[in-house]
Chain A
Amino acid sequence: MRRELEQIDVPGEHDARERTWSVVQSAFDEREPTPQASHWPRVAAVAIALSAVLAAALSPPGRAVLDEIREVVGVERAQPALFSLPAPGQLLVASDAGVWVVQEDGSKRLLGPYREASWSPFGRYVVAARQNELAALEPDGDVRWTLARPGVRSPRWTGTEADTRIAYVDRTGLRVVAGDGSDDRLLAAGVRGPIAWRPGARFLLAYATPRAVRVVDSETGRTLWQVTRPVGPVDLEWSSDGSLLLVLATRHIRLYGVRGYIFEKTSPKTAPYVAGARPRSGQIAAALSHAGQSKAYIFSGRTLFNGTGVFQELLWSPGGRWVLVTWPTADQWVFVDAERRDQIRAVSNISEQFRSRSFPQVQGWCCAP
């Protein structure tokens, strides 16, 4: 039997081995060896810290101390304003005032009173949504076309230099329109999202319902695969090479391969709550929270940044070197150099700079013009 089984040809073994070695090697390079310290001092320290926090919380002077601690959350040597981005590209930011384009030199332009936006694939245009309108604009604010639809949200633009599509959600469901505003059509009735285009030339779209995640060919409407378990997803994120789909739910994440099978799932304790795909790679940055602390890390294990409270977004620079960690708890943006973790640039007063009472959302960091 052993001989019979060893004689079976396994197709593509050599290529598969070399591809895997390359992935394994890079994961190994990024790993952080765990210090082999005794656990008892750590347990004792945690217990002492917890006692102190509890004691503080129970008395008025203690509460005052906690308030002070809240005030000092954040990177200490942060710049008071965004003077420049650490890498080429432009940011798209949604605040209470509307959608903004931020240039590499830190200059900002308010495009208009839109709620959400997405870059076109090469950063030449922006698609933005407000209550009953989908609009395609140039980054200087000139409107190219608009489409009146009820309750527009979640616009996402994808495609190649030759052909693009925009997916969005309105009160009828999930819709797709060509990049020039023509051929608007309903793809899936009643769907509210989240949605995510698979990177690549084909117009493959992942979307979620409360009970399923589907990947469909938006041109034909054909379902390529679906997972029908109730996963309650809150966000979908493809890796930049399109090989992985990360499904973020409230209490877990699942990572699917291109044919729709799970090859990573997490327990509630280790479930990230936000993720961002690194350009030109299969890597994903994620953040998880434990005991009031958040950790941003590359999915294979390497830590990028730790902080108190929650992170809102993780966005990679177009070149894939810097990660922008947006941090509402500290009202800061923290740019982390993923290749040299001692390189951190932080910017404070984010809400004020975007004329916003709530913490602004960064909706894209796109290609340099």
Chain B
Amino acid sequence: MRAERDERAHVRGAQRGSASDLEALFRTHWPRAFRAAYLVTHDAGAAEDIAQESFLAAIRALDRFDRRRPFGPWLHRIVVNRAIDWTRARHLRGEVELLDSSASSDPPDASGGETLAALARLSPEHRAVVVMRYVLEFTPGEIAEALDVPRGTVNSRLRRGLDALGDAL
């Protein structure tokens, strides 16, 4: 409850132009926004751009934001939808990366590498549902609303995603 009150106060402050309140919101929500984007896209450069653009979009819409709603889910919804769009677009284009884009590859031996590899084998839609449920802690109903799909679809994607990850791990 205290955290929710603090967040509402930060949103109100940011709407009035307080940079310190904006920073509090940013520091609170950046880690999960960036992690969620990375787990869906598997590209650190894209995750940075997506998280950054999502914060910028949030700033642009700040004056219209309803303070009774929690800020985090609103932001994370933007992040995940952009991450899904990006992943689909990359797949469609068979993108060739610029040689000087340094922050785009995954370290093969990073901690959690097996989980990451297993996650990579899922479709972006399945990855997004798993990430929203277990990283962003959305309920299935909230995921359905955020992705604009029926709740049954969310449940089946979650089940299939977890089955595939369980098999792989």
Binds B, one of A10-18, A39-47, A63-71, A129-137: A10-18
Give chain B residues whose Cβ lies under 8 Å from the Cβ of A215.
98
Chain B residues with Cβ below 8 Å from A1 are 130, 134, 162, 165
Tell me which residues from 13 to 59 in chain B have a Cβ below 8 Å from any Cβ of chain A: 14-17, 19, 22-23, 26, 30-31, 34-35, 38-39, 44-53, 55-56, 59
Q: Are A7 and B111 in contact (CB under 8 A)?
A: yes
- Are A259 and B53 in contact, CB atoms less than 8 angstroms apart? no
Contacts of B119 in A (CB 8 A): 5
Query: What's the interface size class on A, roughly?
Result: 35 or more
Identity of the chain A residue whose Cβ is nearest the Cβ of B115 in the assembled complex: A4
Is the contact region of chain B dominated by helix, strand, or loop, or is it mixed?
helix
Report whether B34 and A16 are in contact in the complex, using a CB–CB cutoff of 8 Å. yes
B76: which A residues are within 8 A, CB to CB? none
Q: Would you give the 0/1 interface string for A6-39, flagging 1 where the beta carbon is closer than 8 Å to chain B?
A: 1111111100110111011101110101101000
- Which residues of A in the span 258-310 have a Cβ within 8 Å of any Cβ on B? 258-264, 300-301
Q: How far is the CB of A22 from chain B (nearest CB, A)?
A: 10
B34 touches A261 (CB 8 A): no
Contact B112 A8 (CB under 8 A): yes
Q: Which residues of A contact B30 (CB under 8 A)?
A: 17, 20-21
A24 touches B56 (CB 8 A): yes
Cβ contacts A232-266/B at 8 Å (1 or 0 each)? 00000000000000000000000001111111100
Distance of A119 Cα from B16 Cα, bound (Å): 43
Q: Once the chains bind, are B49 and A9 in contact (CB under 8 Å)?
A: no
Task: Give the docked Cα–Cα distance between A6 and B106 (Å).
Answer: 16
Interface stretch (choices A101-109, A172-180, A218-226, A314-322): A218-226
Question: A300 CA to B56 CA in the complex, in Å?
Answer: 7
With contact pairs A24-B26, A33-B17, A260-B93 given, residues A9 and B55 touching in the complex (Cβ less than 8 Å)? no
**Given A20-B55, A228-B93, A258-B101, A12:B162 Cβ within 8 A:** no
Choose from A23, A33, A226, A257 the contact partner of B56 (Cβ within 8 Å): A23
A17 to B28, CA, bound (A): 11
Whether A188 sits at the interface, judged by CB under 8 Å, is no
Knowing A13-B34, A261-B95 touch, does A27 contact B56 (C-beta < 8 A)? yes
- Main SS at interface, chain A: mixed
A87 is an interface residue with CB less than 8 A from chain B: no
Kindly identify, within residues 111 to 169 of chain B, every residue whose CB is under 8 Å from any CB belonging to chain A: 111-113, 115-116, 119, 130-131, 134-135, 162, 165, 169
Interface residues on B, range: 35 or more
With A16-B47, A20-B55 as known contacts, state yes or no: A5 contacts B101, CB within 8 Å: no
B63 at the A interface (CB under 8 A) = yes
| Cross-interface CB contact of A225 among B16, B22, B95, cutoff 8 Å | B95
CB within 8 Å for A24 and B35 given contacts A5-B115, A262-B89:
no
B9 proximal to A (CB < 8 A): no
CB distance from A232 to the nearest CB of B (A): 18
Distance (whole angstroms) from the CB of A334 to the closest CB of chain B? 25
- Is A345 at the interface (CB under 8 A from chain B)? no
Question: Of all chain B residues, which has the CB nearest A255?
Answer: B53
Chain B residues with Cβ under 8 A from A7's Cβ? 111-112, 115
A191 within 8 A of B: no
Which residues of chain A come closer than 8 Å to B116, judged between CB atoms?
8
CB distance from B118 to the nearest CB of A (A): 9
Q: Per-residue 0/1 for A141-163: is the Cβ within 8 Å of any B Cβ (1 yes, 0 no)?
A: 00000000000000000000000
A259 to chain B, nearest CB (A): 5
B77 CB, min distance to chain A CBs, angstroms: 16
Distance between Cα atoms of A92 and B50 in the complex (Å): 37
- A265 to B48 Cα, complex, angstroms: 18
Q: A77 on the interface (CB 8 Å rule)?
A: no
- B169 partner residues in chain A, CB cutoff 8 A: 4
Q: Is B82 on the interface with A (CB-CB < 8 A)? A: yes
Interface flags for A87-100 (1: CB within 8 Å of B; 0: not) read 00000000000000
B96 at the interface (CB under 8 A from A): yes
Complex: A9 Cα to B47 Cα, angstroms: 13
Tell me whether A31 and B59 are in contact in the complex, defined as CB-CB below 8 angstroms, given that A2-B135, A16-B34, A21-B26 are known contacts.
yes
- Closest Cβ neighbor of A244 among chain B residues: B49
Q: Contacts A9-B112, A11-B106 given; indicate if A223 touches B96 (C-beta within 8 A).
A: yes
17 residue pairs of the A-B complex, CB under 8 angstroms, read A1-B162, A1-B165, A2-B134, A4-B112, A7-B111, A8-B111, A20-B55, A21-B30, A28-B14, A31-B60, A34-B63, A223-B96, A225-B93, A258-B101, A263-B53, A264-B53, A301-B60
Binding site for A on B (CB under 8 A): 14-17, 19, 22-23, 26, 30-31, 34-35, 38-39, 44-53, 55-56, 59-60, 62-64, 82, 85-86, 89-90, 93, 95-101, 103-104, 106-107, 110-113, 115-116, 119, 130-131, 134-135, 162, 165, 169
The 3 closest A-B pairs by CB, nearest first: A8-B112, A34-B63, A9-B110
